[in-house]
C-alpha cells in the first residue's frame, strides 16, 4: 500500500484545536507500517472516554467537548482513523475496506492496551467502534451511540441489498447540490446519491460535504475540518467510506460481521446511551434498532443538532454523557 502523511504545517493554529499530538505505529496486513494519531487529554487516573469520529471529519470534531469532559475528571482519547486527520493516508481507494479499518483500529486499541472504556461514537465511528466492542467486549464499560448504526443481515436482507445494488446503477453521478436536494427531500435513495457522489463525482470536495451535512459557515472552522486534505492525493479514504457501508450485495461479509458484533452486544448487557440529534438527515430514526435489540438502554434526543452533533451541540451532548457515566 502506498501511504502519504499530511504535513504538520497544515495543523498549526487551527481554530479551537490546541492539543498535543500522540502517535502509535501499527503494521497492516501486507506489512505496511501505519501511524495512527490520537489525542490523550485529561487526568491519567480518570475514567477513559474513547471518542471516535466518522467521515470526513477527524479528532477536530471533539475539540469543543474535550475540555468539558476533562473538566469533569475524565480522560479523553480521540484517534484519527487511517485516512483522516494526522493519521497516515492511503493513496488508493481500494486499499480501504471496512474490515481493514476494524483491523487497524483493533491493533491500535490492543497496542495501547486501553481498558474500561466508555465508547462515544458517531457516523463511521460507530460502524467501526461497535465492531471493536464486538471483538474486544472486555475492554469496554459503557457505550454512547450517536448518529450512527451497525449494519447487519437483519437490517439489510439479501433481497434489499440486491434492490439497492440495482438502484445504485440507475443513479446519475451527482454533484453536491444534487445530494443535498435528495437529503432535504427525504428521498429513500438519498444515501445512494451520497455514495455515488463520494466515489465517482469529479467535483467531490470535503468542504462541500460539510455544506451538505452541516450548517457551518465559519471559514476558520471549515479550514480546520479540511486541514488534513491539502489536495486530492489525500482524500481517497474520505471518498471511499460511503461505499463501504455494506448496502449492496458485495457487502454481505461485512453485514455478517455486523451480526457477530450484534450478538456480542446483546449478550454483554453494557449500559448504553443512545443520543441521536433531531436534525440529522442521514441517521434519522437509527436509534430504534439499539433500543429494540439491547436491554440496558437510556435514550435521549439531542435537540438542535445536525449530523455532526459534536460540532452543533457539544454542551448538551457532553452533559448527557457525564450524567450517564455518573449514573452507571
Catalytic residues: 123, 280, 307
Q: Which residues pair with residue 52 across a beta bridge?
A: 121
Contact status, residue 87 vs residue 35, Cβ threshold 8 Å: yes
Integer Cα distance of 206 and 106 in angstroms: 26
- Helix locations, the chain, DSSP H: 65-71, 98-111, 124-135, 158-170, 176-185, 190-200, 206-213, 219-226, 236-244, 252-268, 287-293, 309-312, 314-327
- Name the burial class of residue 148, with classes exposed (0-12), middle (13-18) and buried (19+) by CB atoms within 10 angstroms of its CB: buried
Eight-class DSSP state of 81:
P
- Reduced to 3 states (helix: H, G, I; strand: E, B; else coil), residue 214 is coil
- Distance CA(282)–CA(102), nearest Å, equals 22
Cα–Cα distance list, 126 to 224, 256, 261 (Å): 22, 16, 12
Q: Which residue is listed with cell 479551537?
A: 16
Q: Give the Cα separation of 86 and 54 in Å (integer).
A: 14
Q: Is 274 helix (H, G, I), strand (E, B) or coil?
A: strand
249 HSE (CA, 13 A, CB side): 7
Distance, first Cα to last Cα, the chain: 43
Cα torsion angle, 16, 310, 232, 31, sign: positive
Amino acid at each position: 500500500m502506498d501511504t502519504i502523511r499530511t504535513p504538520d504545517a497544515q495543523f498549526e493554529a487551527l481554530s479551537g484545536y490546541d492539543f498535543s499530538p500522540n502517535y502509535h505505529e501499527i503494521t497492516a496486513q501486507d506489512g505496511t507500517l501505519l501511524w495512527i494519531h490520537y489525542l490523550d487529554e485529561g487526568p491519567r487516573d480518570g475514567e477513559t472516554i474513547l471518542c471516535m469520529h466518522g467521515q470526513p471529519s477527524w479528532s477536530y470534531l471533539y475539540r469543543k467537548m474535550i475540555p468539558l469532559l476533562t473538566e469533569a475528571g475524565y480522560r479523553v482519547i480521540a484517534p484519527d482513523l487511517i485516512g483522516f486527520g494526522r493519521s497516515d493516508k492511503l493513496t488508493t481507494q481500494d486499499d480501504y475496506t471496512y474490515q481493514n479499518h476494524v483491523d487497524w483500529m483493533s491493533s491500535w486499541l490492543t497496542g495501547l492496551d486501553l481498558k474500561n472504556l466508555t465508547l462515544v461514537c458517531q457516523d463511521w465511528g460507530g460502524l467501526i467502534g461497535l465492531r471493536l466492542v464486538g471483538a474486544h467486549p472486555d475492554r469496554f464499560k459503557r457505550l454512547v451511540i450517536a448518529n450512527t448504526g451497525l449494519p447487519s443481515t437483519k437490517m439489510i436482507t439479501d433481497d434489499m441489498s440486491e434492490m439497492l445494488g440495482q438502484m445504485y446503477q440507475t443513479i446519475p453521478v451527482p454533484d453536491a447540490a444534487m445530494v443535498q436536494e435528495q437529503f432535504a427531500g427525504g428521498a429513500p435513495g438519498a444515501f445512494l446519491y451520497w455514495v455515488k457522489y463520494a466515489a465517482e463525482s469529479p467535483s467531490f470536495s470535503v468542504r462541500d460535504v460539510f455544506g451538505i451535512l452541516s450548517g457551518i459557515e465559519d471559514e476558520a472552522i471549515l479550514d480546520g475540518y479540511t486541514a488534513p486534505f491539502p489536495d486530492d492525493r489525500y482524500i481517497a479514504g474520505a471518498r471511499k467510506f460511503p461505499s463501504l457501508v455494506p448496502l449492496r450485495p458485495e457487502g454481505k461479509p461485512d453485514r455478517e460481521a455486523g451480526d457477530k458484533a450484534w450478538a456480542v452486544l446483546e449478550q454483554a448487557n453494557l449500559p448504553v446511551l443512545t443520543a441521536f440529534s433531531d436534525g440529522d438527515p442521514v441517521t434519522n430514526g437509527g436509534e430504534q434498532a439499539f433500543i429494540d435489540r439491547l436491554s440496558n438502554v437510556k435514550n435521549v434526543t439531542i435537540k438542535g443538532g445536525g449530523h455532526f452533533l459534536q460540532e452543533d451541540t457539544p454542551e448538551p451532548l457532553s452533559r448527557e454523557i457525564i450524567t450517564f457515566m455518573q449514573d452507571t
